[in-house]
Structures are given as C-alpha cells and as structure tokens.
Structure 1
Amino acid sequence: MTVWDRPEPPTRPAPLDRERMVAAAVALADESGLEAVSLRKVAARLDVGPMRLYGYIASKEELFDLMLDEVYAEILPEEQPGDWREALRTHAHRTRRAALRHPWLADLLGGRPALGPNALAVAEAMLAALDGVADLDTVMRAVETVSAYVTGAIRREVANLRAERATGLSKRDWQRASGPHLSRMLDTGRFPALARFVYDGTEVDAETSFATGLDWVLDAVAAKLTPPPA
C-alpha cells in the first residue's frame, strides 16, 4: 500500500497533517539539501515528537515521495499546450525551473516512476499530447528519450551550482583559477581537438544550452513519429 492509499490518522490535540509535514521537509531540503531531511528534523520544525510522524508516513522514503509529488504540482502546466512538441518543451522547461528552485529535485528524478497524483497528472498531460501521433511503443520511447535528456541536463546544471556553493567560486572564478593549468596542458599539443574547442568555441549560458539541446532532441523525436495506421 502506498502512502497515498493510507488515510491520515484522526486529528489529535496538536495539529498535524501530511501537508504540514511535506512543507516542513521541502523547506529543510531547499535550505540544506536532501541529506538534511530526517524525520527528527522535520518533527523539530513542527514542534512535535518524531514518533508522531509515523502516524502519517512509514519511512523517510515515503516522505521523499510526498515531497517529490509536491514539486510535480509546480511542473504541471496551467493549460494543455497545442501540440506534442510544445507539450514536451513546456514540461522540460518547467521541470528545469522547478529544479532550480528546489535543487534536491535532481536527486529524485530518473528513478522509478512517481505515483503521486501530481506526478500522474504530469504524465497524463504529456501522453495526451502525443496520443494518436504514433503507435504506443513509439510514444513511450519518445517520452523516455526526452526525459533522459532533461534529467541529465538538470543534474549537470545542479551539480555545477552545488560546486559553486561548496567552493565559493563562481563559474568565471573557477575558470580563471584553473586557466593556467589548462593552458599549460593544451600547449603541450597532446589535445589539439580540445584546444580548438576551448579557444575557438562559443560559450553559452545554461538556459541557452538546455534549450538548444532540447530542440535537437525534439527534432530527432519528430523524425521518428509517424501516425499509426487507421
């Protein structure tokens, strides 16, 4: 039985419910990362004993499931986009923005399918946009392909942001600090292809890089989508 299938316990003298628990856990994770979330810390933030939480969830993993579904509510589009490409693009950008607001989301993406009501609504919106565009197996591969790109790109971007926080160095600061070493290595002539990209390539910001890669993936998906026979 999942956490969504179990009813909450009856109200007790100190007000408590899953909504308050999830809000407290999300705030903790936003402040200090997923590793900072524990039932003890959530209980302390709510000013209740840790054992009280076990009336609402069976484990920390269930709390993570609830937190993930809470963020999926931010990913769900306000209205259904007009076509499949715009639906997948909207999903990708909304997921990225949610991950930038909640960097811990990157740690929970890409695992087993999320089964909360908001996650299922997001999946429904994507699949509905692709309904009838191709056969079911092709549609599933298309969604998997886009999701794999989005998850990978988000994890890379979040990893860079975490490195900036851990070291106190911005991307530019890190490049300046690492520049002399990289220049010495490139000057050896052992890495000619890399040198050409470093010296002659155009650097773009994270949002542009994400959007460009996403469009390339969507172009590749479009080439595979052919309407199923009537």
Structure 2
Amino acid sequence: MTDSTPETPAADNQRFARLWEEPAPPSTRGRPARVNRGQVVDAAVGVADEHGIDAVSMRSVARALGVGAMTLYSHVPSRDHLVDAMVDRAYADFALPDRDLAWRPALEAYAHGYFSLLRAHPWLTSINSWRMPLAPNVFDADEAGFRILVDTGLTAGQVVETIAIVNQTVSGFARSAAAEDADQRSQGTDYETYWAAQTDFWQNTFQPSLYPTMTRLWTVGAFDNGATPFELRIGALLDTIELLIEKSSGDPIPSFDDCMAVPWPDTDCPPPVDGQA
C-alpha cells in the first residue's frame, strides 16, 4: 500500500466512522505497540505545521516518530484517512465562544477563534472547505457557529450563508497572514519595513488623477489604520449582519424538539450524528 492508493467506494462508506470512536485500550497480548493512533496524528499535525500539508506522507510521519512507514497503516489505512484525523485534531484547538454571549460578541469571538486556529495550523487553509471531514471537532465548530445566529430571526438559509461568509472572510485574512510570513522568511523584511521602503513610489510615480477614489480615501486617513495581515478586523461585516438581522422577517426555525418529533424520512431537519443528539 502506498500513500497514493485510491479510496474505493466501499471504503469511503466508513471513511469517517473511526473519527467518532473512543481510542481502543492498549492490547495486553503480544509485543506492545511502539506508537498509538493519537501519536501518529499528532506527529502528522506537527509535520504539517512546520512544513505544510504537502510534506505530510506516511514516510515523513514515520520518520518523525522513528518508526517504519508500515507501522502507521495499522492506525490509519491511507493518507486520506490521516488528513481527516489531522483536521479533526487541529479543530480541537478551536476556542469556541461562550454559549451565553449575545450574537454579536459571540460571532466576533467565533471569528477570532477561527483566525487563531488557522494561524496555529496554516495548512488548514489548503483543505477543501467543501469536503471537510465529518469529524466531531469540526461538527462542534459548525454547531457553535450556527447556534450563534439560529434564533436571531434570520432564515435557515441566511444562517448557513452568513456563517459561510464569516468563515471565508476569516480564512482569507489567515491566508494573507501565512503569505506574509513566507515573504518575511524569504525576503528578510517585515511588513512595516517593506511598505516604508515604497516612499519613492508614492512621491514620484503614483498619479492621484488616475486614481481619484483612492486619493479621496487616502486624504481623510482611511488607510492609516488599515488591518495588516496579522489582524482580523470584521467590524464592517458584523455591522452588515446586524442590519440583516434587523430587517429579517423570516419564519422561525423549528426547535430541536420539533425536529425530533417528526420521523426522519418526513422532515427537513438533518439527521443527528450518533451520540450527538
């Protein structure tokens, strides 16, 4: 078996099941295992944090653990399964907002928690957000985000769309921060030094008449306190969401008890994950 072994449809049916299982107790028979599943996943996350997701392979993780690559296959059957477990492990670091917060401070805390998560694990921005693993810590984050807005008067569709917009905004900031980190390492100059060195351009090359809108904004200091790649400023986005909530006249979203009172084949509510109801 190699890292590039394709998943079969039959294997995909159970792809995420193991992410929900409790860790198996160590076997008392035979030689003790040199590593356990948790150590394998933690080592893979460490490789990705330092070198990026493309550096993660069964061989690179095995080297980090000081074992043979075949040892890993007893814990994760393929690289795809390993990456699923890595995402779930990383999402355990997502600092979720307090349930008792009002929607705006809660959503701001959620956004900052997500930004901190992506800064700690920049490789997460390379994961396809449309195919996130069906994993408990990922679900916990999704649940926390939706819970913030579900009873604000927004429609069900608006709740989902708004959280998606917040997530995409935050991931954009995080990607910029990661790119800035890379440029600082390769070019040897920080953000402030880079822009300070561009003074000659603004004085001798830039023509205000060609960019009147930018000039108007610059004249009143609009760019003086602009967010750097290392800051998350979403006040304007939260203001927009607040206006949306104020104008909303959507039908109330059914309560959990109402959803559960209807047999699953006849309801529009999604089925619960085992053990998460």
**What amino acid does structure 2 have at the position aligned with 1:206?**
T
Cross-structure match for 1:125: 144
Shift of 1:19: 0.9
Distance 1:80 1:149 in 2: 23
The answer to whether the Cα contact below 8 Å between 2:48 and 2:54 also exists between their aligned partners in 1 is: yes
Q: TM-score, normalised by structure 2?
A: 0.70
Cross-structure match for 1:139: 159
Cross-structure match for 1:105: 124
5+ residue gaps, structure 2, are 1-13, 253-277
Cross-structure match for 1:220: 240
Residue 104 of structure 1: SS of its match in structure 2? helix
Shift of 1:40: 0.6
Distance 2:52 2:132 in 1: 22
| 2:176 equivalent to 1:156 | yes
Distance 1:3 1:58 in 2: 12
Q: Point out the structure with the larger helix share.
A: 1
Distance 1:103 1:208 in 2: 13
**What amino acid does structure 2 have at the position aligned with 1:166?**
S
Cross-structure match for 2:36: 17
The answer to whether the Cα contact below 8 Å between 1:25 and 1:42 also exists between their aligned partners in 2 is: yes
Cross-structure match for 1:206: 228
**What amino acid does structure 2 have at the position aligned with 1:220?**
T
Q: Which moved more, 1:22-31 or 1:193-202?
A: 193-202
Cross-structure match for 1:82: 101
The answer to whether the Cα contact below 8 Å between 1:43 and 1:53 also exists between their aligned partners in 2 is: yes
The answer to whether the Cα contact below 8 Å between 2:104 and 2:238 also exists between their aligned partners in 1 is: yes
5+ residue gaps, structure 1, are none
Task: Please show how residues 166-205 of structure 1 align to structure 2 within 5 Å.
Answer: 166-181=186-201, 183-187=203-207, 190-194=210-214, 200=221, 201-205=223-227
Shift of 1:182: 5.4
Answer with 1 or 2: which has the greater Rg.
Answer: 2
Q: TM-score, normalised by structure 1?
A: 0.83
| 2:30 equivalent to 1:30 | no
- Residues 59 and 90 of structure 1: CA distance in aligned 2, closer, same or farther (over 3 Å): same
**What amino acid does structure 1 have at the position aligned with 2:107?**
L
Distance 1:207 1:56 in 2: 38
The answer to whether the Cα contact below 8 Å between 2:97 and 2:106 also exists between their aligned partners in 1 is: no
The answer to whether the Cα contact below 8 Å between 1:33 and 1:104 also exists between their aligned partners in 2 is: yes
Root mean square deviation, CA, Å: 2.9
| 2:61 equivalent to 1:61 | no
Distance 1:173 1:207 in 2: 14
The answer to whether the Cα contact below 8 Å between 2:40 and 2:61 also exists between their aligned partners in 1 is: yes
Shift of 1:109: 6.4
- Residues 54 and 153 of structure 1: CA distance in aligned 2, closer, same or farther (over 3 Å): same
Residue 98 of structure 1: SS of its match in structure 2? helix
Runs of 4+ in structure 1 off by over 6 angstroms are 6-10
Shift of 1:93: 0.1
- Across the two proteins, how many residue pairs are aligned to each other? 228
The answer to whether the Cα contact below 8 Å between 2:48 and 2:55 also exists between their aligned partners in 1 is: yes
Q: Percent identity?
A: 27
